[in-house]
Amino acid sequence: TPSLSPHAIQDKWQAYWEEHDTFRAGGDDDTRPRKYVLAMFPYPSGDLHMGHAENYLYSDIVARFWRHRGHNVLNPIGWDSFGLPAENAAIRRGADPREWTYQNIDQQKAGFKAYGVSFDWSRVLHTSDPEYYRWNQWLFLKLYERGLAYRKKSPVNWCPRDQTVLANEQVVDGRCERCGTEVVKKKLTQWYFKITDYADRLLDDLNQLEGFWPHKVLQMQRNWIGRSVGADVDFRIEGRDEPVTVFSTRPDTLHGATFFVVAPDADLAAELVADASPEVQAQFAEYLAKVQKETDIDRQSTDRPKTGVFLERYAINPVNGERLPVWAADYVLADYGHGAVMAVPAHDQRDLDFARAFDLPIKVVVDTTAPVTGAIPVIETDADGVPIMPESIDDQDPAVTGIALTGEGRLINSGDLDGLSKRNAVARQIEKLEASGLGRAAKNYRLRDWLISRQRFWGTPIPMLHTQDGEIVPVAEDQLPVRLPSVEGLDLSPKGTSPLGAAESWVRTVDPTTGEPALRDPDTMDTFVDSSWYYLRFLSPNSDTVAFDPTEARRWAPVDSYIGGVEHAILHLLYARFITKVLFDIGLVDFTEPFSSLINQGMVILDGAKMSKSKGNLVLFQEELDAHGADALRVSLAFAGPVEDDKDWADVSTTGAAKFLARALRVAHDVDSPVGVVFAGGDAGLRRVTHRLLADAPGLVEQTKFNVLVARLMELVNAIRKTIDSGAGASDPAVREAAETLAVMLDLIAPHSAEEMWEALGHEPSVGLVQWRSADPALLIEDTVTTAVQVNGKVRTTLEVPAKIGDAELEALARADEKVQRALEGKEVVRVIVRAPKIVNFAVKG
């Protein structure tokens, strides 16, 4: 009988795994096919929490699964250990961010070990180690060499509280992702990575991930890249030498342009207003001050009243020479397209709202009631859902309805474009613009270049030098790493410039080529640089000659299964995809997408609400672990629901899970047949349950239906117990077969209990490396049923028989059964009642 407590069992097997390095990935000589399973690496923000428990359980299930399927599995772990929280904690406590960081890492390491995750512990990396960040600097220099790292002065998102710039991706609803402070714009000279050069590839390659990544994530990436196709059109502005270019997705509507709008915060607006009357200049200055406080989100919102200032200037429509008044209005953004638009109020809702607010002309140039072959007509309905069939375009006058005409149709009032469908008119207009030199086909992206400079201490120093004559030169590769200086004497508190600038002896250096004094760049890199390529570092974690070995990359990468939260759907995944493509272009990897498949897990919530420290509704990982043990916690989480769903801890039963595990262990201890016993001939019903699971389990895991797998394992435990208690008993070979199957499958979810069972069943550890058997097709035939054979109404045995068996055949089978023969011995059968395939009853006398 089992004697050890769950905690004793887990301690025993964790010590075993540690001692034997059980889950270390195989090396060069390992001929098994390889699988690279990776969970998004953690930020060392304190103890592990329930979100970690879920995330690393799932990756562990996948990693363990592939080992059981004969693969050489790499399942590494590291820490994303640079970043603001460490720095803020250091500021609060007047300590070194290193202390806080490495202390938390140690704590989390211990947590993972106590949780029984099958990591390859020989490959641990921390991005804040110079041995790691040296290669961030190397990567920076590679991008710089290729013209993909550059400096520019531009308005950046600035968090006034953290006193640092933020990437667009780090601004959520106009607020700092980290601290929630409202983000403002500030002009600064910063380093950028030119991700926009890769916009088309980043977008187009998403198609090859369809079916392997959650569709939602692909869609979020597509929207983030936001490719628009249209034309650039040049407009002359009266009194200005240079034409002004606008981007439009609807160059077909050029004849319908009735005014022109520039972003108030674009340089052009300031230039144009300089010639306006003093009143207008004052009005503009006031307006600009207001606009600068608004977020881009607000500015683009459609339901707020339109505002703007007429700049007393005119643009000339290139197709008909009409004079268009030039306005400054906040709904036009300075950093999208060219920061200016041709306004076509009849066919663009924002322009229409503006025209109606300021009484500007509205000119319809597309008849949206005209039929266009192949187009789906947009039919308006009234409150009762009855279609309103417009008689003619006059019934849809946007000036009256307030609704812009954006649907399909045919061009009118547009010279020789008249009669063309929208789509043909766009193409024709672009041809004409190109012929006259007044415009050209153009694409635009919502995606911006990746701003990577941070004015903080706890990050990778940017490996560039500022020479005395104002040049900026790279640090030589053989001089890397540029190590962070000691924090001693530095004031880390936010002040808008990097604390590194004050590290005098660090900042002052010499330019090795000239021997002249030079200053180090004081900024550090966005930590998303660190995580953009870490999956490659795991392949050569200890190399001090290369960031990663291309041969190892060819062997292991790309990552087969990547598991993490949907909060990384845009930022991290986009950057990692970008850097992978750059490395491909350099010739260092032979693939263009880093993560072949992606699994997003839901959140662990409590009573329907997200858990957080501030809400005081945290379920603590360590407490759960102490109370129930790792396996019960793992089973509870796996059983709690589909991977991608949120799991409400209020619905989870750890005690239920613990009872299930205890039952499973008892079953293994009860088995009373020798190792190697022949299974054939064992209880057919139990064998079928076992083999059906052998057949189904791989598919369940590959489809990440871990909760269903747990349910099936529970079913198997019940079936074994039933056979032990009521059937042929613990010595039935089918019981051993089922218990062994249970142990090797339970290993995915409850590995400590599985090892303990495997040992109780007389095997050598580790069960984690045992291959799953394949199902016997003969035992998978579904159409058999259980027949009860009774003698005088008392069940003597049960038989597995084909569902379509006939009465005579069933009776013969029953008579041939040993137990039935014994019950009939010396008695006279007076009557046999056969109801195939369910029942056979022998009525006997004597």
Residues lying near ligand ANZ in the complex (CB under 6 A) are found at: 228, 247-250, 253, 332-333, 336-337, 339, 341-342, 344, 347-348, 444
Both tokens of residue 578? Answer: 């970008």
Nearest to ligand ANZ of 317, 636 (CB atom): 317
User: 630-639 and 50-68 are packed helices; what angle lies between their axes, rounded to 10 degrees?
Assistant: 90
Nearer to ligand ANZ, 232 or 593 (CB): 232
CA atoms of 322 and 343, how far apart (whole Å): 13
Q: Helix H segments across 42-169?
A: 50-68, 84-93, 97-114, 130-145
Query: Which CB sits closer to ligand ANZ, 300 or 653?
Result: 300
What does residue 35 show for φ and ψ, rounded to 5 degrees?
-135, 135
**What is the token pair recorded at 784?**
């058999």
Instruction: Return the sign of the alpha-carbon dihedral for residues 134, 135, 138, 144.
Output: negative
Say whether 694 sits in a helix, a strand or coil. Answer: helix
Q: Which is nearer to ligand ANZ, 115 or 247 (CB)?
A: 247
Q: How far is the CB of 263 from ligand ANZ (least distance, A)?
A: 6
The SS3 call for residue 845 is strand
Q: Least distance to ligand ANZ from the beta carbon of 253, Å? A: 5
Query: How many helices and strands in the chain, by DSSP H and E?
Result: 27, 34
Q: Give all strands (DSSP E) within 505-579, no chain letters.
A: 508-510, 517-520, 524-525, 561-565
Q: Which is nearer to ligand ANZ, 163 or 249 (CB)?
A: 249
With respect to ligand ANZ, which residue has the nearer C-beta, 51 or 251?
251
Q: In what order do the strands lie in the sheet with 164-166?
A: 164-166, 149-159, 184-193, 450-451
Judge whether 595 and 556 are in contact, CB under 8 Å. Answer: no
- Tell whether 613 is in a known binding site: yes
User: Which CB sits closer to ligand ANZ, 6 or 398?
Assistant: 398
8 Å CB contact between 161 and 176: yes
Measured from the CB atom, the residue of 347 and 634 that comes closer to ligand ANZ is 347
Of the candidates 129, 112, 128, 123, the one whose C-alpha atom is nearest the C-alpha of residue 75 is 123
Shortest distance (Å) from residue 250 CB to ligand ANZ: 4
User: Residue 405 or 451: which CB sits closer to ligand ANZ?
Assistant: 405
| Shortest spacing between CB 269 and ligand ANZ, in angstroms | 12
Q: Give the residue with the Cβ less far from ligand ANZ, 406 or 592.
A: 406
Minimum gap (Å) between residue 408 Cβ and ligand ANZ: 13
Question: What are the φ/ψ torsions at residue 535 (nearest 5 degrees)?
Answer: -60, -25
Instruction: Return the closest-CA partner of residue 554 out of 605, 510, 589, 604.
Output: 589
Number of Cβ atoms within 10 Å of the Cβ of 381: 9
Which residues does residue 461 pair with via DSSP β-bridges, in sequence order?
A: 524
**With respect to ligand ANZ, which residue has the nearer C-beta, 87 or 353?**
353
Minimum gap (Å) between residue 414 Cβ and ligand ANZ: 12
| CA 217 to each of CA 417, 563, 577, 603, 830: distance values in angstroms, whole numbers, following the listed order | 40, 13, 13, 16, 72
The C-alpha R_g of the chain, in whole angstroms, comes to 35
Of 59 and 429, the one with the shorter C-beta distance to ligand ANZ is 429
Order of strands, sheet of 647-648, starting from the edge strand that comes earlier in the sequence:
609-610, 604-606, 647-648
Residue closer to ligand ANZ by CB (options 446, 610) is 446
> CB 403: neighbour CB atoms within 10 A?
12
Beta bridge partners of 404: none
| Burial profile 559-581: b = 16 or more Cβ within 10 angstroms, e = fewer | bbbbbbebebbbbbbbbbbbbbb
Whole-number Å distance between alpha carbons of 643 and 599: 8
CA atoms of 55 and 621, how far apart (whole Å): 13
- Whether residue 174 contacts residue 168, with contact meaning beta carbons closer than 8 Å, is answered with no
Cα→Cα distances 532→127, 144, 284, 658, Å:
11, 16, 43, 40
CB of 392 to ligand ANZ, least distance (A): 20
Q: Which two tokens stand for residue 807?
A: 């009465």
Cβ 292 to ligand ANZ shortest distance, Å: 16
- Which structure tokens are listed for 721? 């117990």
Least CB distance from residue 237 to ligand ANZ, whole Å?
A: 16
Closest among 345, 350, 314, 320 to 413, alpha carbons compared: 320
CB of 417 to ligand ANZ, least distance (A): 14
Based on CB atoms, which residue is closest to ligand ANZ, 228 or 596? 228
C-alpha 624/C-alpha 632 separation (Å) is 9
Task: Return the exposure string of 611-636: e unless at least 16 CB atoms fall within 10 Å of the residue's CB, then b.
Answer: beeeeeebbebeebbeebbbbbbbbb
Considering the complex, state which of residue 233 and residue 801 has its C-beta at the smaller distance from ligand ANZ.
233
CB of 811 closer than 8 Å to CB of 834: yes
DSSP state of 729: -
Q: Which residues are annotated as a binding site?
A: 613
Residues in the annotated binding site for ATP: 613
